Structure 1
């Protein structure tokens, strides 16, 4: 008897619950979009409608008005550049340079001193020049590796190291990248002050390039303290490194003055493209200064180079140094004893 009385009451209660909760449930239940691409609610449909115009802005109560922009169309182009274009540019530049140098070594071999070691040396770089060179070089290696990790690390290192180890490597790499930028910049400035007078291009540099710099075929073109190739490396380092450093500081300390997100994206594009091109150029520089040429490393190692090496690659500079030495031994105005 009790069940017969309770049954109508339960049916009525269920009906009232459905009438009360139905509209609220309908507002939060996703509806199928007409495009068949998934389910979207009312807010998402409104957002998609706004996105058709490209830029989406709103209102904010914080002082920075730039936070009012929710969607920036240029950001999509920047993302595509970072994920696709930069990877191709870097891969072709760096990978291509490695392949070229490998092919050159297999066909040409190591460039030796044609006359053989003289057994005598001549001073090429002093301690200040060598110390500054190694500060720039070591800083550049840290910056290059940590920067390349941002472009290629997800594809190359993540599968090998795993998520946690890769996250730690990337975190410390980013910290090192930001702080090592300061000694790198200082070294660029010092390098400019020390060597700019010896790296002014002249007509001999054109002849040097025409003859392949002594790297191709026989014979060595005349050159001063720095030959055409070294001058090119110098200006790539000073000008390219200067622009990379300036754009890098712009990214470390963002939103100077009226600069916005679009300016940051442009700075990143300049920074990243020049960086991968510099990495490719420095790989060639490292090769020539170590494995590729006999006696070249001594210039930045001990600072003393073999005399025959110096005569073959920097004959005009050797003549100048010899003339200076004779002036020291025999001061002007003093006649040698008979």
Structure 2
């Protein structure tokens, strides 16, 4: 026969089993009959769209390391890999194609009266130094910057992994360090030539008459015509935008987060692509597009007939200043 304590243990065991059975039945009733892994409650895309950044928990001081998911990064990557490459190819290759077509149609703009053999000073040595310093830095910055966007799909298959890696390392150093003299050059260009690049009514007339590029007309212009003023402001404004966004990328997370860094990279690369396309037009006019134009920055002087055709107002001003400088000053009669 069972003792009283043994019977008591059996009763309590049966009660405990009954409680567990009831609890299991209740939990089973609360679960859905079919689990849908694609339901919105468990959708990853739905979760990522709820917050711009999903953070985790970390034990180190750098709070940026806590970022687990940042949905805008997908948009940034798509822009950098797809859209930016399209913008760059369209802007640069499209500009090159347009310049080739224009040259075949118009040809080189010649000095209609021919060369006079007389020279007039257009840019002094310091102005030419600043121009070529800025231009040289820009060319290296452009080539090394294009490597970031187009290097992997274009150069990597041609050079191979080792050569492309070595080139990319040196390109990165050149891009970073040459940004400093480029910044100085943009600032000096702004200071040197600001007064001569303020738009005025003469520029409107110059544009209406084709600027001596379209057709055979030669509208009057001061030291800088409307086209050169457009290049000046492109360099100043576009260069400043690239400088500011570039330094944010060179010195990351100083007052910026991941989102701001991505915006800075998008702005920097986009402005750079458009800048390069615009500078191609400037290079065209200064080299093969116009006779005598390169001498202005190459030698500092231009032919008198070239100056008369393309910058007649400036030539008149120079002649007036020269006459005033050589005219003898009036002196007071000697005291008796």
> Number of aligned pairs?
288
1:57, distance to aligned residue in structure 2 (A): 2.2
Residue 227 of structure 2, aligned match among 211, 226, 229: 229
Distance 1:332 1:107 in 2: 53
Look up the match of 1:85: 83
Cα shift readout 1:245-299 (whole Å, capped 9, x = no counterpart): 0110011001112x20000011111111110000000011011101111100000
For the pair shown, the structure with the greater C-alpha radius of gyration is: 2
Look up the match of 2:47: 53
Q: Flag as ranges the 4+ runs of structure 1 deviating above 3 A.
A: 48-52, 331-334
Look up the match of 2:171: 173
Look up the match of 1:185: 183
Distance 2:45 2:231 in 1: 47
Cα shift readout 1:45-70 (whole Å, capped 9, x = no counterpart): xxx96565114421111112121112
Q: RMSD over aligned Cα, in angstroms?
A: 1.5
Residue 291 of structure 1, aligned match among 288, 291, 304: 288
Cα shift readout 1:47-101 (whole Å, capped 9, x = no counterpart): x965651144211111121211122100000000000000001111001000000
TM-score by length of 2: 0.83
- Determine if contact 1:50/1:56 at 8 Å carries over to the other structure: no
1:168, distance to aligned residue in structure 2 (A): 1.2
Segments of structure 1 that go 5 or more residues without pairing to the other structure are 1-33, 36-47
- Within 5 A, what are the aligned runs for 1:304-315? 304-315=301-312
TM-score by length of 1: 0.83
| Alignment partner of 1:264 is 2:261 | yes
- Determine if contact 2:307/2:315 at 8 Å carries over to the other structure: yes
- Within 5 A, what are the aligned runs for 1:111-260? 111-257=109-255, 259-260=256-257
Segments of structure 2 that go 5 or more residues without pairing to the other structure are 1-35, 332-336
Distance 2:235 2:229 in 1: 10
- Determine if contact 1:214/1:221 at 8 Å carries over to the other structure: yes
| Alignment partner of 1:280 is 2:277 | yes
| Alignment partner of 1:101 is 2:99 | yes
Secondary structure of the residue that 2:75 maps to in structure 1?
A: helix
- Determine if contact 2:210/2:217 at 8 Å carries over to the other structure: no
Distance 2:241 2:58 in 1: 35
- Greater shift, 210-219 or 130-139, is seen at 210-219
- Determine if contact 1:208/1:228 at 8 Å carries over to the other structure: yes
1:333, distance to aligned residue in structure 2 (A): 3.7
